[in-house]
Amino acid sequence: MVTQMRKPLSVLNQSINSHVIVELKAKREYRGVLDGYDPHMNLVLKNAEELVAGESVRKMDVAIVRGDNVIYISP
Q: How far apart are CA 33 and CA 35, in angstroms?
A: 6
* Residues 11-54: tens digit of each pLDDT: 888 999 999 999 999 889 999 999 999 999 999 999 999 999 88
Q: Burial code of 36-53, b = ≥16 C-beta within 10 A, e = fewer? A: ebeeebebbbeebbbbee
Q: What is the pTM assigned to this prediction?
A: 0.85
- Of 62, 9, 8, 57, which Cα lies nearest the Cα of 29? 57
- Give 31's strand partners: 21, 49
pLDDT value of residue 20: 96
CATH topology classification for 20-74: SH3 type barrels. (2.30.30)
